[in-house]
Amino acid sequence: MKDDIKTLERECAKAIQEARTPAALDEVEIAYFGRKGKLTTMLRKVRDLPEKDRPIIGNVANKAKKELEKRLSERRAILEVEGVSFDDEWVDVTEPGRRPPEGHLHLVTHAIREITSIFEKIGFTRVRYPEVDWDWYAFEALNMPPDHPARDEWETFFIDAPSSKKGKMVLTPHTSNAQVREMERGELPIRMISLGKTYRRQSDVTHVPMFHQFEGLYVDKNVSIAHLRGVLDYFVKSFFGPDRMVRIRPFHFRFTEPSFEIDVSCGVCGGIGKTAEGEKCRVCKRGWMELGGAGMVHPNVLKAGGVDPSVYSGLAFGWGVERTYMMKEGMQLDDIRLLYKNDVRFLKQF
């Protein structure tokens, strides 16, 4: 069998050398290395040999196979180079070059920059605070004592780490931890806009486990609900367009009093709650899309930040960046999860 392998090796090597085109070389490869090829069939017979002969014949066969594979690779490289001809190709050296593909900023980054720019025009300064923070800043300083039922709605991720005097460590479920941290700096008045990642155990067409929020805080003497409504109207008209409508609904948040939820007319269905086909809008269901919460800063939160509530008052609001961008004019984005699926076909549109 050793002689048969050597004979087959010489035969295959000759066929490789005589191949004049890549296509011809492909035929040689199939004839010898294919599933039913001559060399493949020969190698299968090694396992039928007596046990004492298998190592010797197997070693000869493997060496032959490696040598032929090397010859095949070298011959293919030669034929591919020989097949390229520039004799008939005309080149215009004055033609401009082709620009390589370029990426661009993600939609969420565009949204964050636009939101920042809008609030900067009315004196809000962008700040950033930890996205992994102590329970004190995420809950307790925001008027939510330990074991208070109001904590349940945040569906928080807790960190497996040692506790401190400020409680356990959490992935921030909202950017409201920035409120007390900003007040602790002791620089009044405050006009801040905090943008960062937040985390909650949620996932559907309007929720993702990791999303971005922007938190606004205005603390000064004589701040009122009129200021809050003015700030909200200004942002909605600037970001969504002059024709979009906004409404506030009474609600309950532990860190504001009074509290409101903010809705904007749906940009997917035009605020009617139905699609063009007459089906219920899968995003808003009823014509309005909740963007987030707002209200007047609770006196207990002001105290936690070292601010005297008898002298100062404040307004605060917190909205999801992705959800807000979903409602932007012309977006027609009916599933927030598309933003993070990394589908280039989708991302290239923007």
Q: Beta strand pairing status for 190-199 and 125-127?
A: parallel
**Is 98 domain-assigned?**
no
Number of structural domains in the chain = 2
Sign of the torsion formed by the C-alpha atoms of 342, 343, 346 and 350: positive
Give the whole-angstrom CA distance, residue 269 versus residue 333.
Answer: 11
281 and 159 part of one domain: yes
Domain ranges, residue 202: 107-347
54 and 122 part of one domain: no
Phi, psi (degrees; rounded to nearest 5) at 348: -65, -20
Question: For tokens 């933003």, what's the residue?
Answer: 339
> Domain containing 341 — which CATH number?
3.30.930.10
Q: 277, 165 in Cβ contact below 8 A?
A: no
Position 263 pLDDT exceeds 60: yes
Of the candidates 273, 229, 264, the one whose C-alpha atom is nearest the C-alpha of residue 244 is: 264
| Termini Cα distance of the chain | 66
70 and 153 part of one domain: no
**Is 319 domain-assigned?**
yes
**Is 302 domain-assigned?**
yes
Give the whole-angstrom CA distance, residue 266 versus residue 118.
Answer: 21
**Is 198 domain-assigned?**
yes
- Per-residue pLDDT, averaged over 339-350, amounts to 82
**Is 92 domain-assigned?**
no
**Is 102 domain-assigned?**
no
Q: 294, 262 in Cβ contact below 8 A?
A: yes
63 and 130 part of one domain: no
Task: Read off the pLDDT of residues 11-52 as tens digits, 9 standing for 90 and up.
Answer: 888 888 888 888 888 888 888 888 888 888 888 887 777 888
User: Domain boundary at 82, 98, 125, which?
Assistant: 82
**Is 126 domain-assigned?**
yes
Position 200 pLDDT exceeds 60: yes
73 and 117 part of one domain: no
pTM strictly above 0.85: no
115 and 237 part of one domain: yes
**Is 91 domain-assigned?**
no
57 and 193 part of one domain: no
Type and span of the H or E element at 76: helix 54-82
Question: For tokens 């709605």, what's the residue?
Answer: 153
Tell me the pLDDT band of 226, cut-offs 50, 70 and 90.
Answer: very high
Sign of the torsion formed by the C-alpha atoms of 328, 333, 337 and 339: negative
68 and 114 part of one domain: no
